[in-house]
Amino acid sequence: MAKDRFQKPGIDFTEAFAPTARFESIRAFLAIAAAENMDLIQFDIKTAFLHGALSEEINMEQPRGFQVPESMNKVCKLLKSLYGLWQASRAWNPRFHKFLTDHDLGVSEADPCLYCDHSSPKSMILIFVDDGLRGCTNPSKFMNIISDLQKEFDITFGEAGCYVGLRITRDRVNRTLYLDQTRYMFHIGHRFGYDHCHPVSTPADPNVQLHSTFNAD
C-alpha cells in the first residue's frame, strides 16, 4: 500500500474524492426498478482502485520483498493507481465512467453516478465508488453488460439484498420494494456497546414498557 502521508497537495495530487450516488437517487432507482418490474442485481468490483490511471507523476520506494538488488538506489514510477494514494478513488472513477459510456449508457443530469439507456428495453446502472446496482427490463440485455464487466474487471454480483447500508426486500408479483436499515442499526449498536440496551418508543418516558432488545447477530 502506498504511503499517502508523504504526498503533497497540488504536487502529488489535486482531487482526492470520487462522486457517490445520492441516497435520493438510490431510492428513485429502486422505485423505478419495482414499478417497471426490472431484473435487478448488485455488483462489487474487486481491487477497483488498481485500475485507475494517474495524471500526476508519482514515484515510490521499491516494495519490501520486491526490491531489485542491483537497483536499490532506484525508485518505482507508478503507471496505475494504488490503494493508499490520496487520489486512488478519484482515479478509478474516470476509468469506470469510460466503460459505462462505451456501453451506450448516458449520464443523468440529476446525478453523475446514475447511467441510463432510455431506448427499449430500459436499462440503468447506479454506482457508489466500486459498488453498483444494475436494472434492466430485458433479461438478455441485462446480462450483456455484466458479462463485459467480468471480462474487464474482477467482480462479484448477485441478487440485490443490501446496498450501502440499505436492506432491500422485494415483492415482484405486486411490484413493491421495501427499504430499511435494520442491519446498519444493529451494527452501530454493536460497535458502540449497546447490544443489550432496551429500545423504547419514547426514551425520555420512564413509564413506557420495554418491548425489544438489540441482538447484534
Query: Which range of residues forms the domain containing residue 211?
Result: 181-217
pLDDT value at residue 72: 82
Residue given cell 436499462 in the structure block: 123
51 shares its domain with 131: yes
Mean pLDDT of 162-186: 90
23 shares its domain with 54: yes
Statement: residue 40 has pLDDT above 50: yes
pLDDT value at residue 211: 46
pLDDT value at residue 101: 93
Does residue 191 lie within any of the structural domains? yes
Over the chain, what HEC string results?
CCCHHHCCECCCECCCCCCECCHHHHHHHHHHHHHCCCEEEEEEECCHHHHCECCCCCEECCCCCCCCHHHCCCCEECCECCCCCCCHHHHHHHHHHHHHHHCCCEECCCCCCEEEECCCCCEEEEEECCEEEEEECCHHHHHHHHHHHHHHCCEEEEECCEECCEEEEEECCCCEEEEECHHHHHHHHHHCCCCCCCCCCCCCCCCCCCCCCCCCC
Residue 214's pLDDT band (boundaries 50, 70, 90)? very low
Does the pTM of the predicted model rise above 0.75?
yes
Statement: residue 182 has pLDDT above 80: yes
**Total domains present in the chain:** 2
Does residue 6 lie within any of the structural domains? no
34 burial (CB, 10 Å; 0-12 / 13-18 / 19+) is buried
171 shares its domain with 196: no
190 shares its domain with 88: no
126 shares its domain with 148: yes
156 shares its domain with 189: no
Does residue 9 lie within any of the structural domains? no
Least confident window among 92-106, 140-154, 174-188, 199-213: 199-213
Least confident window among 18-27, 88-97, 132-141, 199-208: 199-208
pLDDT value at residue 130: 92
Mean pLDDT of 75-88: 85
Residue 210's pLDDT band (boundaries 50, 70, 90)? very low
28/23 Cα distance (integer angstroms):
9
Does residue 197 lie within any of the structural domains? yes
60/157 Cα distance (integer angstroms):
34
Mean pLDDT of 135-139: 88
Instruction: Decide: 106 and 117 in contact? Cβ < 8 Å.
Output: yes
33 shares its domain with 113: yes
Instruction: Decide: 170 and 61 in contact? Cβ < 8 Å.
Output: no
77 shares its domain with 167: yes
Model confidence pLDDT, tens digit, residues 108-122: 999 999 999 877 678
Statement: residue 25 has pLDDT above 80: yes
Does residue 5 lie within any of the structural domains? no
